[in-house]
Chains A and B, each alone.
Chain A
Amino acid sequence: MIKHKDLRPKDFGKHPDGQLTKIEELMELPQPYNKPGMEPAFSEPKDAWKEKYCASLDGFIGLDTLTRPKTEEEEEELVHKFLSGLEKIFSDETNRNFLQPFLLSFEYCAKCNTCSEACHVFQASGCNELYRPIFRSEVLRKIAKRYFTNSGKLFGSLVGADLEVDWETIARLGELAYRCNLCRRCAQTCPLGLDNGMLTREIRKIFSQEMGIAPIPLHEKGTMLQLKTGSSTGITKPAFLDIIEFLEEDIEEKTGKKIKIPIDKKGADILLTHNAGEYVAWPENPAAFAIIFEEAGLDWTLSSDLIGYDNVNYGIWYDDAQARKVALAQFKAAKDLGVKRIVIGECGHAHKAAAVSADRMTYGADKVPVESCLPILLDIVKNKRIKLDPSKNNFPVTLHDPCNVVRQMGVVQPQREVLKLICPQFREMTPHGVHNYCCGGGSGFAIMQSMNFPEFRNKVSARMKFKQILDAFQDTIEDTSIPKYVCAPCSNCKGTIRDMLEFYKATAKFNVHYGGLVELMVNAMVDLEKPFLEFLLEE
């Protein structure tokens, strides 16, 4: 094993003791988590995992479909496929929609390391060399130059073309592509405007599009399931309709309001789409949307059509073809319903996928305008379309900025303007807005639960966000009588924050809670007798 401080990109093909390196010292957390024993230690990967998967990078396994070849022929085939895929990301036949940004980032890195300061994974890991943004890119460059450039073939290590590949090296690169949240904060600070996050996604594409290797929750139980059943959760139309009925009953029980949630209303102004995970894990979120939209008198509907009720698009994390198939199916569902616009609920990657990425996937009549729910929510609050009493939210609230909504789409102010109007103790994280840090669950990490991968997420990729949350609540963190609320208007981010608060026992020990923006709005409604937020009921 190589000490991380000595690790160099050209060591990537070495196989010392079966594991390249390990995390040695993590970034310190603020009080009260700066004391020993406040967080569980890492566990060692099991021998059975090492035998079956690639645990030889850092001991974690994220790619649960990347299994060791059983024969030499199998290994040769995988190496061949990888090199074939690598060649394809350089081709304008096979990588048209990413070629220009890819080539620029591939060719021009000055290795100034500005990106390292910006990367939360690198900083949280105690500046472990393996997670430095340019480490991964440099490994890719070395391999590509070695096999596909004349300069690499002629001058070898003189131009950095000094990395040969075998299965282990390739598998490590595949794993390493799943140690980055694709939050692209690195690209935001690059003086040359280059994008290590995008290069990481290109590596994922080689594995997915050429080798058929992608994490099960993203591919098999993600986009494939969504295209087959309509939802990555596997919720079918009858199940969806049952859930809606349950929501209506629940709303009446909690608020006394009799609300009929509109389903498949032809020609409605708005088709509201949610991350279907909300219906399973946080039904109070779609319920809150229904209450607000109905009370505000909006002309809206949900769709029970195949793929019309689930706005997720995991393709944007790992695969261009899947991203496009899902996006086009979602447009079709809206088109069939004849709505005027698609409004994306509190789901960050759905914002980016449907409004930004899918913007150039089709045109004309096949397209339906897409907008974020956040400007609508601000309009409702600012124009007093429902009566709200901010004193009902009189507890410390901070806001997490989902990368896809904020840094990658530019929706920055509406959500904080709402919070300033309805939460008297609102405070910002540092940094925030477009300079935010990822929750640590971006790019699929929130739903990747296989083997020991959650340990990497909770202790490393989500660590910076946990630090920011603790920092934001430093004045009250140890006063357990005061509830604290992390507002995360994104399903994926909420999933990460849920797991993070549970892992660190922050809810149990320090009364820290999380949820969306609409729940806070409903909680502030004047005509509600009881709080909508359950943790307020418990007090």
Chain B
Amino acid sequence: MLLLAFIYLSLFSFIGISLYRALQFASLPMHSRLELYPVPKEKGRGEYGGSYYEEMNWWTKRREISLVGELKEMLEEMLFIKRLFENQRPFWWISYALHLGIYFLGLWTVLLFVGAITEIAGLPVVTPKGVNPHWWTTLLYYGTILAGGAGAALATFGSGALFLRRLFNHTLKKYTTPQEYFNLLFIFAVLATGLMVWSADLGFNYGRAIFKGLLTFTPIEADGLLTLHIFLLGLLLIYIPQSKMGHYVAKYFTYHKILWDNDPNLPGSEVEKKVKEALSYKPKKTWSAPHYQQGQSKSQGM
């Protein structure tokens, strides 16, 4: 039961701390405009990096936004890490292996969850005779193996290769702190113990059993190795959003709220309301340089 409680704790911590971090960033004061082009939502201009400033009297014209352009760029970045692919191919191979592995493991988790629900609903994925021949359970069973196997292999390779690259590359080594090595080793250790557990149960039946336990609040049966794997994975889930590995939260803000935020402050706009609010703030502290003392009033505003 303790193990079950720990899994709940780690899952809720992962989601909770990630949301908390997102809320922390979202609640920070409105910032100055710092957009960088190309801004993909610029309709007809996103491709080459143009903006509404290419129009005369731009503020009198209807601003055209391309959600498709933004979505396309966003998906390319999320699914393929486009900027790393374009600008640093050797690093991309191993970084992408890790990220793609994590995506596959995400899919694997979903398939395990669905498998557990299917079994609770009375349709066993695996029977004493082997894989249930029902098309749905067959799909779930082999889909889980494919997603889990590919995910574990890619993520283990990626985390291990990133660790070694940092260790042996002259430049990267100079910038890598012990904590950053630890982060990669931590992921590697979780994956390595996962691979060991999997080697004794290639159908990931233990995974579905864990999800069934989680869904029905029944204790999980786990041997020493599985207990270690669950413990390490739980700790990792709690740790990730508190470390820089939680950059999935940061990336939303850096792209959507900074680099692609070029909404102008026009009369009656939402931006204007926020600017009004920001400029009405009276800071209690100020800077100390002489010119800051002479006539400084709202300089910390927008």
Least Cβ distance of A40 to chain B in Å?
31
The verdict on A372 contacting B244 (CB below 8 Å), with A189-B83, A360-B302 known, is: no
**A407 on the B face (CB < 8 A):** yes
**B286 on the A face (CB < 8 A):** yes
**B201 on the A face (CB < 8 A):** no
Q: Which chain B residues border A210 with CB–CB below 8 Å? A: 287-289
Contact B244 A107 (CB under 8 A): yes
Report A4-21 residues with CB < 8 Å from chain B CB: 5, 7-9
**B93 on the A face (CB < 8 A):** no
Contact B83 A134 (CB under 8 A): no
Contact B48 A433 (CB under 8 A): yes
Choose one: B37, B170, B244, B288; the contact of A108 (CB below 8 Å): B244
The verdict on A9 contacting B87 (CB below 8 Å), with A360-B30, A363-B275, A408-B35 known, is: no
Q: Which chain A residues border B84 with CB–CB below 8 Å? A: 112, 114, 191
In the docked arrangement, what's the CA distance between A84 and B28, Å? 21
Q: Which chain A residues border B64 with CB–CB below 8 Å? A: none
Comparing A86-94, A301-309, A506-514, the segment that makes contact with chain B is A86-94
Least Cβ distance of B104 to chain A in Å?
20
Least Cβ distance of B55 to chain A in Å?
6
Contact A413 B300 (CB under 8 A): no
Chain A positions 393 through 418: 1 when the CB is less than 8 Å from some CB of chain B, otherwise 0: 00000000000001111111110000
In the docked arrangement, what's the CA distance between A298 and B49, Å? 29
Interface size for B (C-beta < 8 A) is: 84
Contact B25 A434 (CB under 8 A): no
Contact B87 A189 (CB under 8 A): yes
Contact A321 B87 (CB under 8 A): no
In the docked arrangement, what's the CA distance between A355 and B253, Å? 23
Least Cβ distance of A94 to chain B in Å?
5
- For B296, the closest partner residue in chain A by CB is A321
- For B175, the closest partner residue in chain A by CB is A111
Contact A158 B31 (CB under 8 A): no
Contact A114 B88 (CB under 8 A): yes
**A100 on the B face (CB < 8 A):** yes
**A385 on the B face (CB < 8 A):** no
Contact A413 B48 (CB under 8 A): yes
In the docked arrangement, what's the CA distance between A321 and B300, Å? 7
**A341 on the B face (CB < 8 A):** yes
- For B82, the closest partner residue in chain A by CB is A191
Contact B251 A212 (CB under 8 A): no
Q: Which chain B residues border A88 with CB–CB below 8 Å? A: 285, 287
Q: Which chain B residues border A31 with CB–CB below 8 Å? A: none
Contact B175 A138 (CB under 8 A): yes
The verdict on A190 contacting B265 (CB below 8 Å), with A100-B25, A210-B289 known, is: no
Contact A157 B178 (CB under 8 A): yes
Q: Which chain B residues border A192 with CB–CB below 8 Å? A: 247, 250-251, 254
Contact B271 A191 (CB under 8 A): no
Comparing A193-201, A254-262, A475-483, the segment that makes contact with chain B is A193-201
Q: Which chain A residues border B53 with CB–CB below 8 Å? A: 355, 371-372, 375, 409-411
In the docked arrangement, what's the CA distance between A409 and B298, Å? 25
Contact B253 A371 (CB under 8 A): no
**A367 on the B face (CB < 8 A):** yes
In the docked arrangement, what's the CA distance between A134 and B172, Å? 11
**A32 on the B face (CB < 8 A):** no
Least Cβ distance of B154 to chain A in Å?
18
Q: Which chain A residues border B95 with CB–CB below 8 Å? A: 112
Least Cβ distance of B101 to chain A in Å?
16
Least Cβ distance of A89 to chain B in Å?
10
In the docked arrangement, what's the CA distance between A448 and B95, Å? 41
Contact A187 B259 (CB under 8 A): yes
Q: Which chain B residues border A198 with CB–CB below 8 Å? A: 34
In the docked arrangement, what's the CA distance between A335 and B53, Å? 21
Choose one: B38, B272, B301; the contact of A434 (CB below 8 Å): B38
Choose one: A117, A134, A357, A359; the contact of B264 (CB below 8 Å): A359
Contact B177 A97 (CB under 8 A): no
Q: Which chain B residues border A9 with CB–CB below 8 Å? A: 174-175
Contact B264 A110 (CB under 8 A): no
Contact B87 A118 (CB under 8 A): yes
Least Cβ distance of B79 to chain A in Å?
13
Report B83-112 residues with CB < 8 Å from chain A CB: 83-84, 86-88, 91, 95
Contact B177 A158 (CB under 8 A): yes
Chain A positions 209 through 239: 1 when the CB is less than 8 Å from some CB of chain B, otherwise 0: 1111000000100001000000000000000
Interface size for A (C-beta < 8 A) is: 94
The verdict on A194 contacting B254 (CB below 8 Å), with A96-B301, A361-B301 known, is: yes
In the docked arrangement, what's the CA distance between A363 and B274, Å? 10
Comparing B5-13, B116-124, B185-193, B276-284, the segment that makes contact with chain A is B276-284
The verdict on A104 contacting B287 (CB below 8 Å), with A324-B301, A410-B39, A410-B51 known, is: no
Contact B254 A104 (CB under 8 A): yes
**B223 on the A face (CB < 8 A):** no
Report A330-346 residues with CB < 8 Å from chain B CB: 341
Report A351-371 residues with CB < 8 Å from chain B CB: 355-357, 359-364, 367, 369, 371
Chain B positions 229 through 266: 1 when the CB is less than 8 Å from some CB of chain A, otherwise 0: 00000000000000010010011011101110010110
Choose one: B37, B48, B58, B279; the contact of A363 (CB below 8 Å): B279
Least Cβ distance of B90 to chain A in Å?
11
Q: Which chain B residues border A7 with CB–CB below 8 Å? A: 174
The verdict on A360 contacting B56 (CB below 8 Å), with A99-B31, A409-B51 known, is: no
Contact B289 A101 (CB under 8 A): no
**A459 on the B face (CB < 8 A):** no
Q: Which chain B residues border A372 with CB–CB below 8 Å? A: 53
Contact B284 A93 (CB under 8 A): yes
In the docked arrangement, what's the CA distance between A93 and B281, Å? 9
Report B51-95 residues with CB < 8 Å from chain A CB: 51-59, 77, 81, 83-84, 86-88, 91, 95
Choose one: A114, A363, A376, A406; the contact of B272 (CB below 8 Å): A363
In the docked arrangement, what's the CA distance between A38 and B121, Å? 81
Contact B250 A112 (CB under 8 A): no
Contact A359 B33 (CB under 8 A): yes
Contact B49 A407 (CB under 8 A): yes
Q: Which chain B residues border A527 with CB–CB below 8 Å? A: none
**B291 on the A face (CB < 8 A):** yes
Contact B281 A96 (CB under 8 A): yes
Contact B88 A100 (CB under 8 A): no
**B45 on the A face (CB < 8 A):** yes
10 chain-A/chain-B pairs, Cβ below 8 angstroms = A100-B25, A100-B31, A113-B172, A159-B178, A184-B36, A211-B289, A360-B278, A371-B58, A375-B53, A409-B51
B positions within 8 Å CB-CB of A: 25, 28-39, 42, 45, 48-59, 77, 81, 83-84, 86-88, 91, 95, 170-172, 174-180, 244, 247, 250-251, 253-255, 257-259, 262, 264-265, 267, 271-272, 275-276, 278-279, 281, 283-292, 295-296, 298-302
A positions within 8 Å CB-CB of B: 5, 7-9, 81, 84-85, 88, 91-101, 103-105, 107-114, 117-118, 129, 132, 134, 138, 155, 157-160, 184, 187-195, 198, 208-212, 219, 224, 319-322, 324-325, 341, 355-357, 359-364, 367, 369, 371-372, 374-376, 379, 406-414, 433-434
**Closest CB pairs A-B (n = 7):** A410-B51, A193-B254, A434-B49, A321-B299, A360-B302, A160-B177, A212-B289
Besides A319-B291, A375-B55, 9 other CB < 8 A contacts?
A: A104-B253, A114-B88, A195-B254, A208-B289, A360-B265, A360-B278, A361-B302, A376-B56, A410-B38
